[in-house]
Amino acid sequence: YNVYSGMYAGMHINQSNEYFIFSGNSYTWKLQVVNGMAGNAQYTKTESKGTFSVPNPWQLQFSKIESGPKLYNAFWRCIKGARILCLIDAKYPAGGVYTQYGLAK
């Protein structure tokens, strides 16, 4: 809401949730997205399952993400109580911003 008028300042929303589930050398990848005008937002999801490999210590190769195989540059960050997997598309690095996936215990 606009602080001066009380009217909606921005009515368009975008939200997404992406995650991986690893088991042995197989994985499940899911992407859920909500976007649109507030009150009329649309929801969509997609998922892929397959196998992955580690071609070198700094990359992960997935058999299918969305429409085909995908190679990611990867590294782990470790903090107290959690491990964070950092991935970026090796073909389209998009400015060097890694997507981070974590699981805290």
Please state the φ and ψ torsions of residue 94, each to the nearest 5 degrees.
45, 55
Note the pTM of the prediction, 2 decimals. Answer: 0.75
Residue 94 has a pLDDT of 76
Interval 81-98: pLDDT, tens: 888 999 999 998 877 888
Residue 25 has pLDDT above 60, yes or no: yes
Q: What is the mean pLDDT of the chain?
A: 87
Q: What tokens appear for 82 in the block? A: 């959690």
Distance between CA 85 and CA 58 in Å, rounded? 11
